[in-house]
Amino acid sequence: MPHFAYEPVKMPPEAVKLRQEVRAFLADEIAKGGFAPAVGSMVEADEAFSQKLGAKGWLGMTWPKKYGGGERSSLERYVVVEELLAHGAPALAHWIAERQSGPQILRHGSERAKEMILPEIAAGRCYFAIGMSEPDTGSDLASVKTRAVKADGGWRITGRKVWTSFAHRAHYLIALVRTSGTADQRHFGLSQFIVDMKTPGITVRPIYNLYGGHDFNEVTFDDVFVADDMIVGGEGRGWEMVVSELAFERSGPDRFMSTYPLLVEAIDELGANPERLQAAEVGRAVANLATLRRMSASIAGMLNEGKSPVTEAALVKDLGTSLEQEIPEIVRRILPVEPRGVSSNNGYADLQQLSQMQCVSYSIRGGTREILRGMIARGLGLR
């Protein structure tokens, strides 16, 4: 005991101050009609909003100044991310780029890639998609078949990626591709490439989700050229790169706060004097949320110290997505969803129904529940 450590983290005074600045900015944006709070900041993309955040210095905050960063702590970044989610801000455009592609390029990219791309991400102008899954490759990521062959000064990629969120608006895509060996050689021979989406040979086709939203895409590569210095981490290190991204991808507040705006709406809909069990349902969600925030902030503290707490992050994601998925259930147990009377405000009910349909994806994206539990079991020494 303990099996996984989530050491307490003290928020530095600058992070506490920053929280108020971000909140004031968001209140101002809402007041000006800049956005209406939505479920999940990973749903609404607003390029102008992302650029405003960039201008404030709230993107790429931890990166070196020479790449457009602010050289601030992971805890300050944590605060910004939390405030965006708590207010349902339309932050999808820059989300993947800022959360994981940027940090990945900063750690393992070429000097040219860093100089060309990082300042643009930090300005809120450059967006990324992640090309991991394929038609025959889901959780079993090492089985990717998309291939790159060596060419003069670079590589030529051919293959197909699916479930590629935001590929239709992203400027770049980081693709996991086989550069040597065969699919049965598993983790060997994989590499990560930064692919410019304007390169000839790329076709993006929408895959609409179950409620008609457009987030997913199918991306086809037909002999697409990528320069040598757009490999991340070097040839054959793709698997290692994927693993190192995961602590960034899985531990953040976006893994437990997607449906927070629905909880807020439900509390208002419930009124000031709920019955005991209605209150208890709300209280249970709040107690879970408060606990997850503490665990997630602890991971931000570990990242700040240069650690890579991949298993701890997997654990937070599994608990976090469970809460996100439970919130639509909790609120429908305590409030009717079916509208009553023409004068009733349906804001709450609309949000509940959207959340209900959206939240099934939360325990799939970024690593399924079953994959995460396998990782935790490995951390416990069971496999």
| Residues of the shown chain interacting with other proteins in the complex, contacts defined by CB under 8 A | 1-4, 6, 8, 19, 86, 263-268, 270-274, 276-284, 286-295, 298, 315, 318-319, 370, 372-374, 376-377, 379-383
Toward other proteins, which CB reaches closer, 183 or 376?
376
Which helix (H) or strand (E) element contains residue 100? none
CA distances 165 to 40, 92, 190, 290, Å, are: 14, 10, 21, 29
- Smallest CA-to-CA distance from 335 within 277, 381, 285, 283 is with 277
Toward other proteins, which CB reaches closer, 74 or 298?
298
CB of 138 to other proteins, least distance (A): 17
CB of 2 to other proteins, least distance (A): 6
Toward other proteins, which CB reaches closer, 55 or 280?
280
CB of 24 to other proteins, least distance (A): 13
Give the three-state DSSP class for 216.
strand
* Pairwise CA distance, residues 277 & 255, whole Å: 27
CB of 30 to other proteins, least distance (A): 11
Toward other proteins, which CB reaches closer, 148 or 314?
314
Toward other proteins, which CB reaches closer, 68 or 366?
366
Toward other proteins, which CB reaches closer, 288 or 325?
288
DSSP 228-289: GGGEES-TT-HHHHHHHHHHHHHSSGGGT-TTHHHHHHHHHHH-SS--HHHHHHHHHHHHHH
CB of 199 to other proteins, least distance (A): 41
CB of 155 to other proteins, least distance (A): 37
Toward other proteins, which CB reaches closer, 96 or 266?
266
CA distances 24 to 29, 86, 123, 133, 259, Å, are: 9, 13, 20, 39, 22
CB of 300 to other proteins, least distance (A): 14
